[in-house]
Structure formats: structure tokens, C-alpha cells
Structure 1
Amino acid sequence: MPILNFHLVQGQHEQARIESLLLRSSQLFAEVLACPIDRVRVFATEHAPQHMCVGGQMVRQGDQAAPYFNFIVLRGRSLEDKHRLLAGFTDLLVEILGCPRDRVRGGVTPVEPEDWSIGGTPASLLRQAEIEARRLAAGK
């Protein structure tokens, strides 16, 4: 279920670095959430510079633009896990792509298990035991 999307300026980063970002982010996601890596999906969406505006200014080719990321997890994940992922994905952008830390933005979108499907079946049905264990561990 875990899904992550990085939004980057097209042509700003070497493809090998983007690939490294995707692979290491996948590993981090699986490690922090203690889930099988085959459940993890990570994307890099590149946007043309003329389609991005940062701080009220259009991004120009060669600008050190501000990357944005968003990840989706099933509701019930701990605040600690979400904070570790927010920090970890930021760290990877800084380390791998050389992005200025203060320009990186990111967010988490929790989704109710009954509002997410896996192969067309609600996650609430497929992973009922896992979801209940996470809920109990979080003290809810």
C-alpha cells in the first residue's frame, strides 16, 4: 500500500541519481513501516520548468528548485513512523540530489483502510488483522 511520489524539475537531476532516490526510498519505506518491499510503490514525477512556480517566481532551467514529495499510508500508522519518513525522505533528497534542505517540502496523506483497494478489494478486508494490530499498538 505505501505510495510515495517525488515532484522534481525536469532535466535538473541525473537519471542515475533519481534511480538511487527511488530505490533507497523504497527500502526506507519498507524498513520504517515493517512491511514487505513488494507492497511499496515509489515514483518520480518530473515537471517542465515552465510548469512550476516556487515562491511566486517561475522556475527557470538551472534553478535549484524546491522538490516536493507526498506519501500515502493507511490510517493507523504511528506518528513516530510518519515523522521518520518525513525526515528520511528529506534526508535522501538532500544527500542524493543535493537539494537545499530548507527548500524541500513533503507531506503524508493517511487513507482509511476501507477507502483503499488492493486488487479491487478494500484493504480493510484484506489486511484486517494487520490494521487491527497497528491500531492496538498505537493505543487507539
Structure 2
Amino acid sequence: MPVAHINVLQGHSKETLKKVIHDVSMAMADILSAPKDRLEVWVTEIDPDLWGVEGEPASEVMKTKPRGQVEMPYVEMVLMEGRPLEQHHKIITTITDILVQHLGTDRGRIRVHIANCKPDNWGIGGTAAAILRKAEIEARAKAGA
């Protein structure tokens, strides 16, 4: 279920963005103990003419400042509620580290927002996650009996 949507300025190479997707996915799997087949990571590139910084389009600001001081990668994560705060803090730090490493952005410009979601408010294939979770737990209990 964990998802991460990463917004960046256009202009990074596809290879760089693929590395971001890979490393963020691996961090989510490791830190959140989430199965890889349930993870989603999306990167959206924003046209620098349509990204405002200091009241101007980023394309204009980048004429006088380096990209790493202009771009503000924004990561929106959705996690099922109930995870320990330590996981939240570690994933925020690790995703920030990954973006600094691959994008060259100043650390202080990176933003990570975690939105906690109640299982009754998250649908999977038209069914609330709370219902699916209950069915999975019951199936595991039967299999172990």
C-alpha cells in the first residue's frame, strides 16, 4: 500500500530518475517492512516555466542560481495509519538523503510529507483496505491452524 509521489523540475536524466525510483522503493521496503509488490513510487516532472520560486518561474531564477538551490523536490507519501513515528522519521531522512545524492538538491530545499490513511479510507480494487486486511488475517489464521 505505501505510495510515494515525487515532484521535481524537468531536466533530470531518465537514468537519474530511475535510480531515485529504485532507491526510494528499496528504502520503503526496508524501513516500512513493506512487500515490494505493494509499493508504488511515481515521479512527476514539472516544467520550470510552471514552477514558481521567489515569485518567478524557476526557469528565470535558474539563470542566476544553480538548480540545486532552486528546485524543491516535494514528496507526498501515503501510509496506512498505525506505523511507529520512528519509521516516519527514518523514511523522511532516507528519502531526503536519496534525493540529495541523485538530484544534487540542497538538503534544506527537500520536503517530505507523510499522509496517514485510515484503512477504511483506502480502496483497493473497489474494496476498503480494512475489509481486505481482515480477510487476509483470517486466511493466514486458517492456513496456520
Structure-1-length-normalised TM-score = 0.86
What amino acid sits opposite 2:9 in the alignment?
A: V
2:101 matched to which residue of 1? 95
Q: Secondary structure at the match of 2:59?
A: coil
Larger Rg: 2
Kept in 2, the 8 Å contact 1:54–1:66? The answer is no
What amino acid sits opposite 1:7 in the alignment?
A: N
Structure with the larger helix share? 2
Q: Secondary structure at the match of 1:73?
A: strand
Q: Can you list the C-alpha shifts for 1:47-73, whole angstroms capped at 9, x where unaligned?
A: 111111124332017551111111000
Of the three residues 114, 120, 124, the one matched with 1:118 is: 124
2:34 matched to which residue of 1? 35
Q: Secondary structure at the match of 1:76?
A: coil
What amino acid sits opposite 1:25 in the alignment?
A: V
Q: Which moved more, 1:110-119 or 1:62-71?
A: 62-71
Alpha-carbon distance between aligned partners in 2 of 1:77 and 1:56, rounded to the nearest angstrom: 38
- Please say if 1:85 is aligned against 2:91: yes
Please provide the CA RMSD for this pair: 1.8
Q: Say how many residue pairs are matched.
A: 130
1:127 matched to which residue of 2? 133
Alpha-carbon distance between aligned partners in 1 of 2:94 and 2:136, rounded to the nearest angstrom: 24
Alpha-carbon distance between aligned partners in 1 of 2:35 and 2:94, rounded to the nearest angstrom: 18
Structure-2-length-normalised TM-score = 0.83
Give runs of aligned pairs for residues 55-66 of structure 1, distance below 5 A: 55-60=54-59, 62=62, 63-64=66-67, 65-66=71-72
Structure 1 residues without counterparts, runs of 5 or longer: 132-140
Q: Secondary structure at the match of 2:83?
A: coil
